[in-house]
Amino acid sequence: MRLKKDTALSVALVSPSIVAVLIFIYGFIAWSVRVSLSDWKGLLPNYTFVGLKNYLELLEDPRFHIDIRNTVIFTVLFVGGCLLLGLGLAILLDQGLRGESFFRSLFLFPMAISFIVTGVVWRWLMNPAGGSRISGLNLLFDNLGLDFLINRWHTTPTWGIAAIAIPAIWQMSGYTMALYLGGLRAIPDHLREAARVDGASEVQIYWYHILPLLRPITLSAMIILGHISLKVFDLIVALAGKQVALDVPAIYMWTTTFDGYFFSRGASIGILLLLSVAVLVIPYLRYSLKGETEL
Amino acid sequence: MVSTRTPRRSVARIGLYLPLILVSVFYLAPMYVLLATGFKSFAEVDLKTMWNLPSGIYFENFRAAFEALAPYLWNSIRLVVPAAVISSILGSLNGFVLAKWKFPGADIVFPALLFGMFIPYQSILIPLVEFMRSINLYGGIPGLVLTHVIYGIPITTLTFRNYYASTPTALVEAARIDGAGLLSTYWYVLLPLSIPSFVVVLIWQFTAAWNDFLFAVVLTNPANWPITVALNNMAGSQIVQWNVQMAGAFIAAIPTLLVYIFLGRYFLRGLMQGALKG
């Protein structure tokens, strides 16, 4: 009797959340798909079915081409930068240095800050003004005699988006470091000792013995950072506003929907973003759930 | 760790500090400019001298920024406190049931929740706005709280579920043999054990809601803007000086920075749980 009652009660406890997730996540995705297949342009909903028209228009849309290009450049630099810097810092911090926890906290603190705050600060650090109005990092480079580093940051034609990767790396590389450091700490010491006894140098130990063991961490980090990169939005808005040169799908979706009332196009961009994240995340989730489902 | 290494390498070790210190400069430079600018007087603020230390400690920038941002700070507090508390309670109950009481369909629910953590919210934004309009919650704080609670269900549930799954089932069995029902098992046995998880989830949801921009900018009207939206608006305006923007950015960052400084251990645990499942 008691068990039956408990089963009913546990269903009653979780069902509001399950229903909410079903509606607000999966139901809303279906609703968005429907909007993306409609002709809704303007304030009043219009669900006239037009097939894939909105998606096909996006494929022809020069602004969306800029978005894809920017996303690719940003993703490569951001993910690559975080992985390299994160791994490098983790290896340095794994040497048993004094002050390790200080450095670790220092590299991680940007994670606690919002992308908006980061964007506002870096907007002034990456001030592109030149000549007598020079400021920010360019001013610092000028004072240090590193004039060759002076550049126009995010206002550089074509490659402006690359500059946005710098604050993004600033914010997320500490997190990548923490992931790698966790991985390094899990490697038993006798493995290094054995390699050392075999006469391997420290560099060889890392290259041949330790890095291969960190591959699963690299994979996780790439997926996590990659999906953050596909969704990048607030950092660019706070740093540079809504410029077409620095446009990405998330910003296009926002402006075309809520400034331009082109709901069907906005929904199409949202669904394409979802698909790109799903392609990245679903295989990863299947892989990491494998050992977990037998609860 | 240290003892396993040979002493001759201690000289080379000094060389390890050089790159660490150089990278530290990269991490600290933005905070330096933020604080150096914030504490300058209006008179000495100049883009040309932005790397100079202030000549004294002045609060004019912070005062101006605080005056402009105070109502939005209050909005953020009214948002994050209920969002974090409700999320944690809900997550704890869900996690408990998913971990300890098997029910049909549990292995579908789990991956479905997990995927919900990763979706780009652009893919649900239009229905969300339409829905909030239809139930008259569009524009205000309660609608935004509801949004954070609902889209927080996956992460809060999974964090608690992972925690409860690691507590011995024998505890639950023993309580059941003693005649405890579902709720008293939860209340007397598992809840007291899960205080650390509550801290992790509260911090996680607090930080997520405090730092959120997308939901806030789409769902609230200007009177109810939280701090992120107000700060972004301030940064985009031509009227507010850059030094006041910097002070505003610092004010907006203080709550989550304090949480990080004092509860960093839990913060990190939340981060890791968000990333690495299993």
- How far apart CA A123 and CA A163 sit, in angstroms, is 11
| A139 pLDDT above the threshold of 50 | yes
Task: Chain B: give the shortest CA distance to residue A48, in Å.
Answer: 16
For A24-41, how does the pLDDT look when each residue is reduced to its tens digit (9 = 90+)? 999 999 999 999 999 999
Residue B276 has pLDDT above 60, yes or no: no
**A185 → chain B, closest CA residue:** B1
Q: So what's the pLDDT on residue B222?
A: 96
Mutate to test the interface with B, among A3, A35, A113 (most CBs of B within 10 A): A113
**Average pLDDT for residues B53-80, to the nearest whole number?**
94
Q: Which of A86-90, B24-28, B41-45 is least confident?
A: B41-45
Q: Assess whether pLDDT exceeds 70 at residue A4.
A: yes
| Chain A residue with the nearest C-alpha to that of B132 | A24
Q: Do B257 and A109 touch (CB under 8 A)?
A: yes
Query: What ipTM does this complex have?
Result: 0.91
Write out residues 141-170 of B within 8 Å (CB-CB) of A. Answer: 150-151, 153-154, 157, 165
Q: Which long-range contacts (CB under 8 A, 24 or more apart) does A275-282 make?
A: A276/A230, A277/A227, A277/A230, A277/A231, A277/B118, A277/B119, A277/B120, A278/B115, A280/A223, A280/A226, A280/A227, A280/A230, A281/A223, A281/A227, A281/B115, A281/B118, A282/B115
CA distances from B8 to A105, A207, A221, B202 (A): 29, 22, 35, 47
CA distance A287 to chain B (A): 10
Query: Does the beta-carbon distance from A238 to B165 stay under 8 Å?
Result: no
**Counting one residue from A and one from B, how many pairs have CB atoms under 8 Å apart?**
283
Q: How does pLDDT run across A260-289, given as a tens digit for each residue?
A: 999 999 999 999 999 999 999 999 888 877
Q: What is the dihedral of CA B158, B161, B162, B163, to 10 degrees?
A: 130
pLDDT score for A95:
87
pLDDT given for residue B3 in this prediction? 46
Give the pLDDT mean for A59-72: 96
List, as one string, the DSSP characters of B140-174.
SHHHHHHHHHHHHHHHHHHHHHHHHHHS-HHHHHH
**pLDDT, position B11:** 64
Closest CB to B257: pick one of A92, A112, A270. A112
Question: Considering only CB atoms, which chain A residues are within 8 Å of B272?
Answer: 178-179, 182
Q: Please state the rounded mean pLDDT for residues B204-218.
A: 95
* B33-41, long-range: CB < 8 A, 24+ apart: B33/A121, B33/A124, B33/A125, B33/B246, B34/A121, B34/B246, B34/B249, B34/B250, B35/B250, B37/B61, B37/B242, B37/B243, B37/B246, B37/B247, B38/B62, B38/B243, B38/B246, B38/B247, B38/B250, B40/B243
pLDDT category at B8 given cuts 50, 70, 90 is low
Contact B50, B36 (CB under 8 A): yes
| Residue A269 with chain B: CB contacts under 8 Å | 122
Q: Which residue in B has a C-alpha nearest to residue A131's C-alpha?
A: B48
- Answer yes or no: do B115 and A282 touch at CB < 8 A: yes
Mean pLDDT calculated for residue range B208-232: 96
Taking only residues 179 to 238 of chain B, the set having a beta carbon closer than 8 angstroms to any beta carbon of chain A reads 179, 181-183, 207, 210-214, 217-218, 228, 231-232, 235-236
CB contact under 8 A, B27 and A170: yes
In this structure, of A109-113, B213-217, B271-275, the range with the lowest mean pLDDT score is B271-275
In B, residues 44-103, which contact A (CB 8 Å cutoff)? 47-48, 50-51, 90, 93-94, 97-99, 101-103
- What pLDDT is recorded for position B9? 59
User: In what helix (H) or strand (E) does residue A116 lie, and over which residues does it extend?
Assistant: helix A115-125
Q: What is the mean pLDDT of residues B183-204?
A: 88
Cross-chain residue pair B245–A124, CB shorter than 8 Å: yes
Give yes or no for residue B46 having a pLDDT over 90: no
Distance CA A262, CA A75 (A): 27
Q: Report the residue from A28, A103, A136 with minimal CB separation from B128.
A: A28
**Cα nearest neighbour of B185 on chain A:** A6
Q: What is the mean pLDDT of residues B165-191?
A: 84
Burial of A98 (0-12, 13-18, 19+ CB in 10 A): exposed
Residue contact B232–A119, C-beta within 8 A: yes
Contacts of A188 in chain B (CB under 8 A): none
B259 part of contact set with chain A, CB < 8 Å: yes
Between CA A288 and CA A9 the distance in angstroms is 31
How confident is residue B277, by pLDDT bands cut at 50, 70 and 90? very low
pLDDT (0 to 100) of residue B116: 92
Contacts of B275 in chain A (CB under 8 A): 175, 179, 220, 224
